[in-house]
Structure 1
Amino acid sequence: MSFQLKLVWKIVLLIFAVNIAIMSLLYTNQLVRKLAIEEETRVNQWTAAIQRLIDSEDEDVTFLMEVSRTSSNNIPIIMTDEDGNILNFLNLDSARTNDPVYLRDELQGMKLENDPIVIEYQPGKKNYVYYHNSTLLTQLKYYPYYQIGIISLFLLVSYLAFNASRRSEQNRVWVGLAKETAHQLGTPISSLIAWIDLFKEEGQSPTKEMLAEMEKDIERLRLVSERFSKIGSTPILEDKNVKLLIDQSVAYMSSRASHKVKMEVHADVLHNCFSRVNVQLFDWVLENLIKNAIDAMEGKGQIDFVLTETKKHIFIDISDTGKGIPSSKISEVFKPGFTTKKRGWGLGLSLAKRIIEDYHRGKIVVKESTPGKGTTFRITLRKNL
Structure 2
Amino acid sequence: MPCPHRLAAALAATAAALVTTPASASPWTLPRGTIVFQGTFQYQTATREFFERGPSRSFPLNGHYVGNTFTLGLRAGITERLELEVALPIRTVAYTSDPVILAQRDPASTQPAADFYRRNIINLSRTATGIGDLYLSARYRLALRPFAVAVGLRLKAPTGYVGPSGTFGDRPQSAAEFARSPERYADPENVRDDVTLGDGQLDLQPELLLGYAFPTRTFLRVDAGFNGRFGGAGQQVVGAVRAGQSVGASLLFYAWAQACVSVTGGRVIGVSVAAQDPDLPAVEYDGTRNLLLRELRLERDLVEFGVGAIVRVNRDVELNLGYTRGLWGRNVALTDTLFASIGVRTQVPGLQ
Tell whether the structures are fold-level matches, with TM greater than 0.5.
no
Give the structure-2-normalised TM-score. Answer: 0.25
Higher helix share: 1
- Which structure has more relative contact order (CA 8 Å, sep 6+)? It is 2
Higher strand share: 2
- Bigger CA radius of gyration: 1
Give the structure-1-normalised TM-score. Answer: 0.23
